[in-house]
A and B are shown apart, each in its own frame.
Chain A
Amino acid sequence: MPLEPTAQLLTALPSLLDLPFREGYVSSIVYVSLYVSLVAVALSTLVSIPVAVVLGLADFRGKGFVKSAINTGMGFPSVVVGLLVLFAVSNQGPLGSLNLVFTREAMIMSQFVLATPPITAISLAAVSGVDRGVRDAARVLGGTRVDAALVVLKEARYGIATAVLAGFGRAISEVGSVLIVGGNITSADGISKTRTLTTAIQLEARQGQYETAMVLGAVLVALVLVVNAVVVRFGDRGVQR
């Protein structure tokens, strides 16, 4: 039974060739999806990992509260994040003069907000899970605190890779916020400007074109699979070295 949706997706794939889309349409929305999500996740990772390491290694009052706050962030509804970013970048908003509304940059902003909590939370769990002895050993061997942190980071790399993938998964599969701040725009010749796979799927579903929506869904799943495979491969090579 659980195989059935997969089988459906697989049978939908061959029909990708005769979809009612103009040339370049699908590849352009794939490009926009990847571009927006990868940039957002890269920025999130840059912020999340230092935060996770510092939080994981430090002890201070209120640490539990900070953790809870980050975990709560994982549950942010994407539509609400979209609205908040829209208020910020709208012409009336504090960033209005930057003209970011209905642009990829605005989409990156909202996906950054969405991806950062899961990446931070899962990285934090991974860092916290590293045996305290590892850190102590690094210090005993004459390492600085930064050295100790790097050792911990290395030990936690699998968990952190999972964190980044979870953030990527949240970003690329998310539809609510990119629809609001991006506007789901293609140019008249069918080349995507701010349309992603998810918003394209939403558009097809809105028009009752469920089959086309399913095919685009299959493309999205395939894309996530490829990205995951690449990261896992990358991680394994790191171990062999």
Chain B
Amino acid sequence: MSIHRREMLTALGTGALAGLAGCSGLAGGEEESADVAGETLTLTTTTSTYDTGLLDEIHGDFEEMYGVSVDAVAQGTGAALESGRNGDADVVMVHARGLEDEFMREGYGVNRRDLMFNDFVIVGPEDDPAGIEGMDSATEALTAVADAGATFVSRGDNSGTHTKELNLWEAAGTEPGGDWYQETGTGMGEALNVATQQGAYTLSDRGTFISQRSEIDLVILVQGPIEDGPEVLANPYGVMAANPGVHENANYDLAMAYIGWITSPGTQEAISSYQVDGEQLFFPEAVSEDPNFGQYVPEGWSGDSSDA
């Protein structure tokens, strides 16, 4: 029954689209390329790109250039990728390379590009009960927090930051748990607030921390690679288009226009000049004399093997 109905709706939708396509074909005979003006691009992304104000700052330029609107939905990395899997996003912009690769391997995404990076920092109360200030190993710092039983606030929400945190605990060889380990299940901003209230440690992306520093009572205790901290705290963001082969109503043309625009020198410049409180939040990495060949070609690929 419901399957029937769905087929009918799909047929209706396809019919309507075909009709529209026919009309525009007749009316716009002189125009040679697909006209995206007036369309809407749905971008699902993580809270850190949205809450820092970056997307609102740069999207006006794209909207003006193409005469389109961008619907940015701030969900957190896990949910943003899930929206992509369900065919509800045209572009996904997240920060968890492992989850992104999985998404690509499953065939939901195409044309991934490295976009920009910042880094994670371990923040905590100024009096630093676990004594981790200035440590140059993130895993040692976490182990110290666990050994001291000092309160640690975890995002616990399958976000990019949460994924990174879990990877760090695993690398530290410590199974987090017990009274001192609190999962909030909230966005970064709320997690920082909870950590402030409890005088707790937490892992934060530098961007969100800077944009909220005036509201909270925490200090950076372990720096990320931007301030010469350990490389393991790097926080790279990637952007990818939904695969139109999987979800046929993904707006692929516009998605690729977006990816082209956001990885262009002009927009990358705009990203690097975006500041909050006089500090740069994101560091562009899409434009390079030596682009990362590996991001287009799976590891272990060879000419005569069709498998990754």
Spell out A's residues near B (CB within 8 Å). Answer: 90-92, 94-99, 101-102, 183-190, 193-194, 203, 205-209
A180 CB to closest chain B CB (Å) equals 9
Chain A residues whose C-beta falls within 8 Å of the C-beta of B286 in the assembled complex: none
Q: A208, B190: Cβ atoms under 8 Å?
A: yes
Q: Take A101-B88, A102-B71, A102-B88 as given contacts and tell me if A206 and B190 are in contact as well, using a CB distance cutoff of 8 Å.
A: yes
The reply to whether B47 and A206 contact each other, CB–CB distance below 8 Å, is yes
A145 to B215, CA, bound (A): 64
**Pairs across A and B, CB under 8 Å, 26 listed:** A91-B249, A94-B2, A95-B9, A96-B10, A98-B9, A98-B13, A99-B249, A102-B73, A183-B73, A184-B73, A184-B74, A185-B71, A187-B70, A187-B71, A188-B56, A188-B59, A188-B69, A190-B56, A193-B69, A194-B71, A205-B190, A206-B47, A207-B215, A208-B189, A208-B192, A208-B212
Q: A165 to B86, alpha carbons, bound, how many Å?
A: 36
Q: Does B193 contact A (CB under 8 A)?
A: yes
Q: From residue B13, how far is it (CB to closest CB) to chain A in Å? A: 4
B55 lies within 8 A of chain A by Cβ: yes
Chain A: minimal CB distance from B107 (Å)? 14
Q: Which of A97, A190, A208 contacts B10 (CB 8 A)?
A: A97
Chain A residue, CB-CB nearest to B42: A102
Give, as a whole number of angstroms, the nearest-CB distance from A190 to chain B.
7
Apart from A206-B186, A206-B190, what 7 extra A-B contacts exist at CB < 8 Å?
A90-B88, A95-B9, A96-B87, A97-B10, A98-B9, A187-B63, A187-B70
For A206, the chain B residues whose CB sits under 8 A away are 47, 51, 186-187, 189-190
Q: Are A188 and B215 touching (Cβ within 8 A)? A: no
Contact in complex: B60, A188 (CB < 8 Å): yes
Q: Which A residue sits closest to B73, measured CB to CB?
A: A183
Cβ of B36 under 8 Å from chain A: no
Report whether B86 and A90 are in contact in the complex, using a CB–CB cutoff of 8 Å. yes
B72: interface (CB < 8 Å): yes
B-side contacts of A203, CB under 8 Å: 51
Residues 25-69 of B contacting A (Cβ, < 8 Å): 42, 47, 51, 55-57, 59-60, 63, 69
Question: In the docked arrangement, what's the CA distance between A92 and B83, Å?
Answer: 10
In the bound complex, do residue A208 and residue B215 qualify as a contact, i.e. CB atoms below 8 Å apart? yes
Is B216 part of the contact surface with A, judged by Cβ < 8 Å? Answer: yes
Q: Which residues of A contact B10 (CB under 8 A)?
A: 96-97
Q: Lowest 10 A-B CB distances belong to which pairs?
A: A91-B87, A97-B13, A188-B59, A183-B73, A208-B215, A207-B189, A206-B187, A188-B60, A206-B189, A90-B86
Determine how close the nearest CB of chain A comes to the CB of B248; give it in whole angstroms.
9
Within 8 A of A (CB), among B183-202: 186-187, 189-190, 192-193
| A102-B88, A187-B70, A207-B189 known; A94-B6 Cβ under 8 A | yes
B291 CB to closest chain A CB (Å) equals 28
B1-31 contacts to A (CB < 8 Å)? 2, 5-6, 9-10, 12-14
Q: Is B247 an interface residue when CB atoms closer than 8 A count as contact?
A: yes
Bound-state CA distance A90–B73 (Å) is 14
CB–CB A189/B60 < 8 A: yes
Closest to B57 in A: A188
Contacts of A205 in B (CB 8 A): 190
Measured CB to CB, the nearest residue on chain A to B190 is A206
Cβ-closest chain A residue relative to B13:
A97
Chain B nearest CB from A104 CB (Å) reads: 12
Task: Decide if B59 touches A209 in the complex (CB within 8 Å).
Answer: no
**Closest beta carbon of chain B to A117's beta carbon, Å:** 23
A96 to B69, CA, bound (A): 21
Q: Using Cβ atoms and an 8 Å threshold, which residues of chain A touch B2?
A: 94
Report the nearest A residue to B79, measured CB to CB. Answer: A180
* Alpha-carbon separation in the docked complex, A186 to B59 (Å): 11
Residue of A at shortest CB range from B9?
A97
Determine if A185 and B189 form an interchain contact, defined as CB atoms under 8 angstroms apart: no
Which residues from chain A contact B193 at a C-beta distance below 8 Å?
208
Chain A neighbourhood of B87, CB < 8 A: 90-92, 96
A207 & B5 in contact (Cβ 8 Å cutoff): no
A32 to chain B, nearest CB (A): 13
Find chain A residues with CB under 8 A from B189 CB. 206-208
The reply to whether B88 and A91 contact each other, CB–CB distance below 8 Å, is: yes
Q: Which of B51, B60, B72, B186 is A185 in contact with, Cβ under 8 Å?
A: B72
Nearest residue (CB) in B for A186 is B56
A194 to B74, CA, bound (A): 12
Bound-state CA distance A39–B66 (Å) is 33
The reply to whether B73 and A97 contact each other, CB–CB distance below 8 Å, is no
Q: Which residue of A is nearest B191, CB measured?
A: A206
Distance in angstroms from A110 CB to nearest chain B CB is: 15
Contacts of A99 in B (CB 8 A): 249
Partner of A92, one of B13, B51, B72, B86: B86
